[in-house]
Amino acid sequence: MSQPRLFLRGQPLRLEERAAQILFLGPLMQLSMDCPCDLTDGLKVVLAPRSWARCLTDMRWLRNQVIAPLTEELVFRACMLPMLAPCTGLGPAVFTCPLFFGVAHFHHIFEQLRFRQSSVGSIFLSAAFQFSYTAVFGAYTAFLFIRTGHLIGPVLCHSFCNYMGFPAVCAALEHPQRRPLLAGYALGVGLFLLLLQPLTDPKLYGSLPLCVLLERAGDSEAPLCS
């Protein structure tokens, strides 16, 4: 494999995940403002071998940051998208596949009902909200997978978003420094929309397996492939 090809294979690590980090500019600012330690102390904690050892022995951390992102992206993007796309077309597949991804999170309803964590109405409302944002996220990672032809980018984005959680917009509205914080939220969304296409330009990533599959099936549509 040539050196340029190796370079292109490394692009998702530097570009694709950056789009998600840009989108979370506001929440990252909020996390930084609320953190009791300064940047140096924070980096020491993050880079400490003891911290990583603690994470690697925490089953919940492994589930949220490693196992779930890897298995869910493998099933719902790498396996399901290539099966759906020849039948529905690329665009509809991007929005159909995430519906299954959203439904896969409904098991939380049974957990909450079993342990009576809230009222039945609140549980179902929470499940509907979770279905909505997981479906939107699924469409985003499907878009990344199609545009780049790599699974590592969607997996890293999934892991990052699992770590960040849903943005605490209500807390931001009541934050003592809400003006710069809300400006960060708005700037993050604006930059994300502006840079998403350039950061996922297929020309940066080489051959796109799903697009090649559709071309062989006689589908010349595929606007996401260019």
Name residues whose C-beta falls within 8 Å of residue 62's C-beta, 6 or more positions apart in sequence.
Answer: 55, 56
DSSP at 202: G
DSSP state, residue 166: S
The label of the residue with tokens 């995940």 reads: 17
* Catalytic site positions: 72, 105
Closest CA to 93 of 189, 219, 226, 178: 219
Separation CA 206–CA 12 (nearest Å): 12
